[in-house]
Structures are given as C-alpha cells and as structure tokens.
Chain A
Amino acid sequence: MSTTDFTRQTHHEFLTASSQALVDANLQLSLANVGDTLAKRNREAWETFPQSAPLRELARQIKDATLADLAGHLETLEASVRERGGEVHYAGDGDDACRIVTDILRSRGAKRVVKSKSMTTEEIHLNDALEAAGIEPIETDLGEYIVQLSKQRPSHLVAPALHLRMPEIHQLLSTDAGETLPNTPEDLCAYARTRLRDAFATADAGITGANFAVAETGTIVLISNEGNARLTVTMPKLHIAILGIEKVIPKLADLPIFLKVLARAATGQKLSIYTTLANGPRKPDELEGPDEFHVVLLDNGRTRILEGPLRESLFCIRCGACLNVCPIYRNIGGHAYGGTYSGPIGAVLTPLYDGLTNNRHLPHASSLCGACQAACPVKIAIPEMLIQLRDQLHKEPGEMHWAEAQAYGLWARSMRSPRLYRFLTWLATRTVGRVLPSGWLKKLPGPLHGWTKNRDFPAPARERFRDWWSREGME
C-alpha cells in the first residue's frame, strides 16, 4: 500500500494527515453532528446550571492547590491505599509502567485481561506491551472494543469510535462474531454484551485508568455510562489502575465538585450513569471484588510540564468538551493530531509529551477563537498556551525559514518606525493593490507560497486608510 493510513500511525505529519481527513467522506459525515449534539449539550449545561460558574472556578483552584504540593498528596494517597490493603507502584515513564503491569500479571500467571476505557493506557501503548508478553487485552467499553477490532486508535477522549460509521462497525462486529449480525445498533450492542460478558467471566485481571484518585481515602474513581468499568473492578480477582500523577485530588469532599462539572461538560448529563469509587480490595467477608488492588502512578513527562509555564495543562480532566466545540477538530477529527490526545488540549499536550519540533504544526492547528476555554470545566487557558508554544517553537534553532524570518523581521521593524510603516503601506497600495482587482492573492512568490497553499492572502487595498481619511476631511 502506498498511501499511509493516518488512523493507525503513531506519529505523522500533521499537514498530510489533516488534508487526508478533510477529504475522507465517512469521517466528514461522522464529524458533522458533533457540533449539533455534544457541543450543544455542553453549552446548554453551562447555561442551565448557574452553579457551574463557581463550581468550575473551585475545581480549578483545587487542581492548582493540589499541584502546588503534589508529592505530599501522592504520599497521602499511597498511605491510604496501603492501609486498605492495596499496593502502589511508581512508573517514571510508559515503558516502566508497562513493565510493572506485565510483571504483576505474569507472576500471577494471568493470560487474559479486561480493560475499561483509559486514555493513559493508550498513552503508554499498554496493549502492545501486554500482547508482546503473551497476555490478551480485551477492551470492554463498546467504542473501545470496536476501535480495538479495527486496529485503530481512539479518535475522541470520550467517544473513541466517533469516526466510524454504521456499515464499518457492522462489518467489524460481524467479522468478530463469525456471522453476519443483524444491522441495528441495538443488535450490535446485544452481541457485544454477550461477547464481553464471557470476557469478564474468564478474565484473570481488570485494568482501568482513573478519572480521579482521592488521596484521603485511597480511592480510584471510575466514571462510565455503560457499566463496563464496574464489571472490570467487580468480576476479576485482580485490579490494576494506571493513572497520571495529576489525577490525584486531596479530599473526599473535593470529589462532588468535580463530579458536578465533569459529566455536564462531557455529555450534558448531570452525572454519568455509573460513578464508581473503588476503595481497595474486597473485605474478607465479601462475595465480589478483587483480592488484589494495585495502583500504578505514572510520570511520563508530567513533572516536566509541572515545573514549567504550561503547568495549567495538568488541570485537564479529559472530558472532551474542547474537542466538541473546536472548529479545527470538527473538520479533521482526532486521528489527524497524531497523538494520544487530540483537539485543542491535544495540541497542547502532544508537543509537551512528545516534543515540540516533532509536532510543530499542532500549536498552529487552532484558530484561537477561545471556544475551548469557554467550554472547559476547569477553565484551562488553552489559547494562551497555544500562543506560548508557538513562541517557544520559533525560538527553536532551525525552526524558522529564512524567508519567514525576513518577513516577520521587516514587519516588526516597520511597526516600530512610523516613517517606514507609511512608506511600506504606500508602496504596497501603489503596486500590488493597484494591479490586483480581486483583493486576494492566490499565490505568494518563492518560499512564501506555503502561506497560500491552502488559503488566500488578503491583497493590499487600492488606497491606504490614512489617505482615505484625509481625503474625506475627517480630523
């Protein structure tokens, strides 16, 4: 195959991938209703719930205060988990975390694990590591299961199979079933329910992420609408939760503040159907729940972010609201971003985790319209962070083309000197402005042509504003 499939690659050129996405008819159909459904629900949630303004501010303050003493809260979390009979592991990076998990599973002879939707395990490519270790991972969130069958990656934080249409999903599940399934969403869900029930009943371990971890109680909080997270922490004998260190919140009393804004931001629900507080292994008399409870704390670049100016990106609670309202995401979908996290927050996180020059186009994949910040349940200043990343990028050696550097240099100099500015605007209107009737430049010359590859450049006007102003006699 000569064409690259941008839904599968782990790392790729953003410009190529987004151009492919724009002409992918299926994807465009899938993305078409994001604005009418998910984005609308987010807007309505904030409009109809006046308490959300102080709650979002409080949630933001709790995140900020927690990060200020993050090590202290992690120690409290560890002590609470231990007290209740669980174990805590520390993973410096993704490979570390995968090794910790596979070691635990191997030493117990585990062959098959059920997983509840987790972006953190996507981030560290845990499924690949499990398969390499001879352990079968089965995703149990319906969307994740479909994405796993398609051998793609999730394209949305909370709706992983958003990019797939009914015929593709029908095909994938029918192939999995070994027969042609009836072609309705209800029948396909019924098939997945039966298929995955078997997986839950036979799995040796359950692996989850965490929406939050409460330090005071050693609680792993899991939120889902389907119930698969509950089954994952109820049926298997072993539960392993893998979470980034920024997921910790100090107190049980902090949790309702986040719960009140998370589901509203994500799907417009007051609460998701199931909010589970997994507080440790089963007690001796209990009939269900895991015998063993492991918490893996993951750094994987988070401390690098914590010490720097984009620290606020660690406030993110992964609701997906910024994706739903973003005009860029709604045109290109999640895969084109090329990282685990997509949309506006992905455009901040991916360069931070994976390197700025590797992802040089992501900070520019935004119109800076501010919709993301307005939708965010913890009010993260995403546009400002994107501007900071753009600024950092231009300071990277070799990042700026000489022609671009010249153009910006000239622009900067002219803005500082009124005489030079007047001369250049006079020159522009007398030359390009007079010969070009349409008002738009379709193609800029030489190395500047990159600007006009996908858009037009506004041509200078026929007359300067300054000249028009004095001609009209307005002082």
Chain B
Amino acid sequence: MNREAFLARVREAATSGLRYRVHADPTVTRAMGYSTIEEDLVARFTAEVAKVGGRPVVVPSMEAARREAAQIFRIYEPRSALCWRHPVLDRFGLTDWLRTERVTQIDSALLAPQARAEQRRDMLAADIGITSCTFALAETGSLVMAHEFGNERVASLVPPVYLAIVSREQILADLFDAFDRLGERLAKRDWPSNVTLITGPSKTGDIESKLVVGVHGPGKWHVLVVDETAGEKPAPA
C-alpha cells in the first residue's frame, strides 16, 4: 500500500479515536516501579542466576577464577571455545589460559579473515562459549550484551555449554539502570546493531508444559563472578 495513504488513514483513525482515550492516573511514576536492592549486589545477582537455572560461583581473584574455570572444563572437556574479546577476559588472561588448557580459541581475530562458510563452520563446531557481559543485572540475574565486532552473539547462543566471566563492577541493580546506560550509548551515537538480555539457560515448556533446557541455546549456563573486594571482607560464617 502507498505510504502516504497508509499514514493518512492512521492519522485520521487516531484522531477519531481520541474521544475513546482511557482515564490516566497522574500519580504513578516510573520511580515507583524501581526495585531497590538492599542486599549486596553480588549476593542478589548470584541468587537470581541460581533461580533461573544457572550455576553461579563467586571468586575473590582472577587466579581463583582460572581455577574454577578449570573445574568447569573438567566436566565438559571442550576442545574449542567460541570467545569474546573483552577487557574482563583480558584481565582473566583468557588466551594464555586456553593455551595451557589445550583448547582452541575461536574469536573475531581468528574468524575475521575467513570466508563466511568457514566462519560458520568454526562457530557451529565450538564446544563452549565464553564471554563477559556489557552489564549484569542483580534484580533479575541477567546478562546484558551489547553485540558488536569482538563481542559476537553466537558465543552465548550456539555452543551447548556457556561460561560468563563477570566482574563485580559490571553489576547494576535494576533493569531501569541498564536501560539508562544503554540510553547513554544511544546519545553518544554508539548504538550496537543488536542488544540481548540473557536470563538463564535456553528453555522450553512446549511439550506438556515440562521444562527442558538447552533447546536452541546453551543448556549449561555457568556464571563466574569475580569479586576482588571479597578478599578484603571477613569471610561469611
């Protein structure tokens, strides 16, 4: 249909419909929908991750994170890992660590020069996906991912096993905070082509409402939270 005729029809209908507008309660505000989190953000975040079927671990240092990651690798024995390039993963020392684990690292540096068919073959064959996140959300146990070159979508989507390495300062309290931060990127015209909020392993209830994990995305969902302030505090009893 012709664009002008289409929009003219919408405009006319919207105007006629004005007399059927609903009553609005002027006292409600956005702030009333904000979830204030009293407890420690790491504690709340990991509790929510566990609730949605993820497996969270909190570690006090990058060294401890590497030990935990090695434990996870012992379970799945991956041969190749589809990875992000990210400052938190650099601090983790991912490239060197994967080399010592004898696991092939597949990331944008390896993939960029390849032809599309080769890229796809390598992406689809990866045994585990390893990423950090753009932000994490304590309210819901979510990872917010701004996808761009180096931080590919497929890493958290295609392999059957997934590992996120999150640093304490990445955790925000509420969904509104995440959208405020995304809004800042939009204002700076640094708006990615895809943003995804991930809240747990892939799930379906389509067969007799029975929960099955890992239908299209990863079914194993590990989250390592590196809280370097944890060592400074007395250990919980």
Contacts and interface: CB of A to CB of B under 8 A. Distances in A.
B21 A64 contact: yes
Contact of B193 (A140, A161, A274, A282): A282
A272 B16 CA distance: 36
Contacts of A287: 108, 111-112, 119, 149, 152
Given A189-B212, A231-B157, A257-B30, A289 B35 contact: no
Interface string A191-229: 011001100010000000000000011000000011110
Contacts, number: 252
Given A271-B140, A271-B199, A96 B175 contact: no
Nearest to B139: A270
B175 A260 contact: yes
A278 B192 CA distance: 9
B207 A196 contact: no
A57 interface: yes
Given A92-B6, A279-B194, A286-B193, A225 B209 contact: no
A60 B33 CA distance: 14
Interface residues of A, number: 97
Contacts of B18: 68
A84 B22 CA distance: 35
Contacts of B199: 269-275
B196 A142 contact: no
Contacts of B11: 70-71
B154 to A, nearest CB: 6
Contact of A71 (B14, B24, B186, B203): B14
A274 B197 contact: yes
Interface stretch (A299-307, A331-339, A404-412, A452-460): A299-307
Contacts of A273: 52, 198-203, 217
Given A185-B207, A260-B33, A272-B199, A308 B148 contact: no
Interface in B139-177: 139-142, 147-149, 152-154, 157-158, 175-176
Q: Which of B17, B24, B48 has the most CB of A within 10 A?
A: B17
A74 B2 CA distance: 14
Residue picked from A55, A159, A278, A307, most chain B C-beta under 10 Å: A307
A424 B183 CA distance: 69
B1 A311 contact: no
A225 B204 contact: yes
Q: Which of B8, B139, B201, B202 has the most CB of A within 10 A?
A: B202
A165 interface: yes
Interface string A252-280: 11011101100000010111111111111
A61 B10 CA distance: 19
Contacts of A281: 193
A376 interface: no
A5 interface: no
A227 B216 contact: yes
Contacts of B157: 227, 230-231, 234
Contact of A91 (B1, B52, B140, B183): B1
B204 A189 contact: yes
B207 A142 contact: yes
B222 to A, nearest CB: 15
A58 B30 contact: yes
A69 B15 CA distance: 8
A51 B148 contact: no
Given A303-B10, A306-B10, A270 B193 contact: no
A180 interface: no
A27 interface: no
Contacts of B20: 308-309, 311-312
B9 interface: yes
A257 B149 contact: no
Contacts of B214: 189, 193
A141 B207 CA distance: 12
Contact of B13 (A228, A272, A303, A312): A303
Contacts of A288: 123, 152-154
Contacts of A256: 175-176, 178-179
B10 A312 contact: no
Contact of A286 (B24, B30, B148, B200): B148
25 contacts: A51-B32, A51-B33, A61-B24, A71-B7, A71-B8, A90-B1, A90-B2, A90-B6, A93-B1, A185-B208, A225-B205, A230-B153, A253-B179, A269-B199, A271-B142, A273-B52, A273-B199, A273-B201, A279-B192, A279-B194, A286-B193, A287-B119, A288-B123, A288-B152, A297-B6
Interface of B: 1-3, 5-14, 16-18, 20-22, 24-25, 28-30, 32-35, 48, 52, 108, 111-112, 119-120, 123-124, 139-142, 147-149, 152-154, 157-158, 175-176, 178-180, 182-183, 186, 191-210, 212, 214-217
